[in-house]
Amino acid sequence: MRAIASLAMRSPTAASINAAAYAVFALFFAPFMIVSGAIVGLATLRGGFGKGMTVAVAAAVVAGLAYYVLLKQPAAAFFVGMTWLPTMFVAQSLRSTENQGIALSLCAVFGALYAVTARMLIPDVEAHWMAQLLDLAETVKNQGGTFFGAEEMTVIAGIMHEATIVVTCLYWMTALLLARWWQAELYNPGGFGSEFRTMVIPRVVSPIAAVVAALALLQMFSGNPSGLPSDLLVVLVVLFAFQGLALLHHRVNKLSLARGWLIGLYVLLVLMPHRVGLLLAFAGIADTILDVRQLRRRQRPKN
């Protein structure tokens, strides 16, 4: 992974070509989109928003040509560019503040904007995803394959909106952190680990989270478990899960535990993302309330 960053940082042209290439590779393996976004984020972290924009625009042009050849849909490059724009904003925030908690919170703001926009444009998100699944099922059947049954598609349609919110938030957050890790590996070895282990979500987020949680509960008790409050709650769960992850990294480092503990955690996170992610979010919330790492205590001025 370090080699990718080293190659991309040779010049703005190299960064643009690499960002575009991984955006095209994402058509075949979606996680490559994170690598593409991280390259744009790294360019922004190193050279500022202007350099990041230069890299992103050039990459969008190259990706647009590739999409036209492969899919006959060059307009898809506009969508790719729009996913890079928030990455540049949050990377610029991290460049200015050197505070991962603020930058990740800004990612959550963009995730919330996505949720709000989706609700405005698609009033019935479950019906929308059901229509998409029915079209896909028809295509698969026409090709002689088998697809999910009606009950299974109903379940999948019910969770797709929530899943897209999670994926959107994870994309921006992981692209940002990958870019920061690359920056540390190339220019400040060891700097990422110490910064991430002390990452904390700004306290102003806590009362907002309490209000959102209360609204989500009221919505659930009203008999309608899905809606904008529950969407925003999903965003906050993802955000605080990263603080819980930072807390666990801090404890493993402080206690000098073997890396196997973290490897095991990430394996469980991949195998059971809903349950482990929720536990991490609770750990992050507890750290915010109780200051488990005593970060606020250290920051208080001594009399």
What is the per-residue pLDDT across 60-75, written as a single tens digit (0 to 9) for each?
Answer: 888 888 888 887 776 6
Q: pLDDT: is 180 or 298 the higher one?
A: 180
pLDDT tens digit sequence for 235-254? 999 999 999 999 999 999 99
| Exposed/middle/buried for residue 210 (C-beta within 10 Å: 0-12, 13-18, 19+) | exposed
Diameter of the chain measured on Cα atoms = 76
Per-residue pLDDT, averaged over 213-224, amounts to 86
**Beta carbons within 8 Å of 208's beta carbon, 6+ residues apart:** 236
Q: Which two tokens stand for residue 262?
A: 């973290």
For residues 20 and 59, the answer to whether their CB atoms sit within 8 Å is yes
pLDDT of 148: 77
pLDDT tens digit sequence for 139-179? 878 777 777 777 888 888 888 999 999 999 999 999 999 99
In 3D, which of 91, 127, 126, 129 has the Cα closest to residue 107? 91
Per-residue pLDDT, averaged over 98-102, amounts to 95
Amino acid at 9: M
Cα atoms in the 13 Å half-sphere on the side-chain side of 143? 9
How far apart are alpha carbons 175 and 85 in whole angstroms? Answer: 12
Can you give the pTM of this predicted structure?
0.92
Distances (CA, A) of 17 to 62, 77, 86, 152, 179: 7, 14, 20, 41, 16
CA 174 to the chain's CA centroid: 5
pLDDT of 134: 85
Q: pLDDT: is 204 or 147 the higher one?
A: 204
pLDDT tens digit sequence for 254-277? 998 888 999 999 999 999 998 999
| Exposed/middle/buried for residue 155 (C-beta within 10 Å: 0-12, 13-18, 19+) | exposed
- Three-state SS for 107? helix
Q: What confidence tier does 302 reach under pLDDT thresholds 50, 70, 90?
A: very low
**Beta carbons within 8 Å of 190's beta carbon, 6+ residues apart:** 184
- Count of C-beta atoms within a 10 Å radius of residue 136: 13
For residues 251 and 210, the answer to whether their CB atoms sit within 8 Å is no
pLDDT of 301: 45
Residue indicated by tokens 């899919």? 71
